């Protein structure tokens, strides 16, 4: 079981898998995702969470970050501390984009697109 699923219920693990499966592999674009810090470890790493997934992120670029803060995580690094409202709005937008994958109007097959 992947580390982000350990200690989670079946529903939470399934949701995290679903979200991860929607991330295109080999894409040319990267996003920084707002994640909340759950724990700061002694090695400059933090355990962070968003949308049911947990990861580790390096705090080298955000040494001022504290437990409970939201940070933008990109390529394994917390690159900026952001406020909670911004984090929640951004996560809502990411969820909306993920939901569009299931919408026939936006999927690659074009199934369900009006004539």
At 56 the pLDDT is 96
Per-residue pLDDT of the chain (115 residues; tens, 9 = 90+): 444 444 444 544 555 566 566 556 655 567 899 999 999 998 999 999 999 999 999 999 999 999 999 999 999 999 999 999 999 999 999 888 888 777 676 666 555 444 4
Cα(81)–Cα(32) distance, rounded to whole angstroms?
12
CA end-to-end span of the chain: 44
How many CB atoms neighbour CB 61 within 10 A? 15
- CB count within 10 Å of CB 49 equals 15
- Rounded Cα gap, residues 86 and 50, in angstroms: 13
Measuring CA to CA, which residue among 18, 94, 96 is closest to residue 52? 18
d(CA 35, CA 73): 7
Q: Which domains, from first to last, does the chain contain?
A: 3-23+31-101 (2.30.30.140)
């Amino acid at each position: 079981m992947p580390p982000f699923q350990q200690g989670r219920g079946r529903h939470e693990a399934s949701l995290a898998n679903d979200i991860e499966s929607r991330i295109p592999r080999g894409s040319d674009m990267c996003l920084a995702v707002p994640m909340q810090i759950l724990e700061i470890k002694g090695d400059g790493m933090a355990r962070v969470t968003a949308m049911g997934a947990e990861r580790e992120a390096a705090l080298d670029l955000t040494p001022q970050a504290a437990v409970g803060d939201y940070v933008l995580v990109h390529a394994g690094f917390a690159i900026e501390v952001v406020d909670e409202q911004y984090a929640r709005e951004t996560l809502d937008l990411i969820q909306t984009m993920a939901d569009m994958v299931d919408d026939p109007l936006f999927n690659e097959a074009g199934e369900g697109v009006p004539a």
